[in-house]
Amino acid sequence: MSSEAPEVAGTAAKVDELPEHAEGGKYTTPGKEYTRDTRYITTRITADGADGYPVAAGRYRLVAARACPWANRAIIVRRLLGLEDAISLGLPGPTHDARSWTFDLDDGGTDPVLGIERLQDAYFRRFPDYPRGITVPAIVDVPTGAVVTNDFAQMTLDLSTEWTQLHRPGAPDLYPEHLREEIDAVNRKVFAQVNNGVYRCGFAGSQKAYDRAYDRLWSAMDWLEERLTHQRYLVGDTITEADVRLFTTLVRFDAVYHGHFKCNRNRLTEMPALWAYARDLFQTPGFGDTVDFQQIKEHYYVVHTDINPTQIVPKGPDLSGWLTPHGRGALGGRPFGDGTPPGAVRDGERVDPAHTASSMRG
């Protein structure tokens, strides 16, 4: 089970406790540390349908904004496992208002499968008085139009373990049973100090809160630098769930976290092992081909008006370095284990070429 998402509580979150990928509200509270609300809809889609939602091809739609790191995880895992035919993909735009993520990238501003303009409609279809943020990623039951789950941490684990009958031939095992204890331990540390750590820096409400978050972040980054100096992947010799979870933070680090969130002791490009590791994953099918740098920058700099009230989106940094040689093959390892890489990105799911690393030169 997920270590990041406790069961949903019955009370509404305070505005200043809403998750980063929730809608609206302030993100910082003067004098306080940033606290992420980790109460999600914990309904699961499983092979046995124990929660009332059995695995079934074509029944569900993954709604996942490319801008959001938590949603980016689900997009990557879906692609690595070859679940494109089993679970359709809805892509909200990179910005949202105080109410909801919106489907402004689609014709008429309406999701073509769900027929809704705002993701909140799927939440309200199941929970008319839903009290918390309308978050991505979310999986929606297409026949009813109702949200099933937004528990992003459990969601990707279930895609790996409950959807196996619909995996592509050659799909990798991203959560191998013999490594789960170590993967879970690494994930807990990475979530607390890195994935969420950058937000604790960016949304700190006082100097003391910022200093504490900054020190925790860089302690973990130094730990990762040391660990990845000697091994190609975080756990074992193949790509696992742990790598997916770390990657979506690293790929945003220099583009937004270093400056926007004041995580500026080093750029990622100044940490040899982490930078090479991140490039290795970026150049692996299923990772970099899901990343839209322009949407990422637009989301953070436009939505977080308490940090960036002018909403100016910087032109830099130069991101073309993501395509340079990484040399990580010398450490051994087999990216997909006994499996194979995913095929080409499907029509309609390709990142705009103008938003890729080769085009983002600052």
As a whole number of angstroms, the distance between CA 28 and CA 202 comes to 8
As a whole number of angstroms, the distance between CA 192 and CA 175 comes to 20
Burial 189-225 (b: 16+ CB within 10 A, else e): ebbebbbbbbbbbbbbbeeebbeebbebbbebbeebb
The answer to whether 103 and 92 have CB atoms below 8 angstroms apart is yes
As a whole number of angstroms, the distance between CA 209 and CA 30 comes to 10
Q: Does 263 participate in catalysis according to the annotation?
A: no
Task: Indicate the SS3 state at residue 257.
Answer: helix
Q: How far is CA 214 from CA 33, 210, 306, in A?
A: 12, 6, 19
As a whole number of angstroms, the distance between CA 80 and CA 299 comes to 25
As a whole number of angstroms, the distance between CA 101 and CA 277 comes to 32
Angle CA(342)–CA(346)–CA(351) in degrees, nearest 5? 100
101 in a labelled binding site: yes
Q: Which residues, 6 or more positions from 207, have their beta carbon under 8 angstroms from its beta carbon?
A: none
What DSSP state is assigned to residue 266?
Answer: -
Task: Indicate the SS3 state at residue 148.
Answer: strand
The answer to whether 157 and 175 have CB atoms below 8 angstroms apart is yes
As a whole number of angstroms, the distance between CA 32 and CA 206 comes to 6
One of 27, 40, 60, 68 is an active-site residue; which one? 68
Q: Which residues, 6 or more positions from 332, have their beta carbon under 8 angstroms from its beta carbon?
A: 232, 237
Q: What phi and psi values does residue 164 have, to the nearest 5 degrees?
A: -60, -30
Q: Does 210 participate in catalysis according to the annotation?
A: no
Residues in the annotated binding site for glutathione: 101
Instruction: Tell me the catalytic residues.
Output: 68, 199
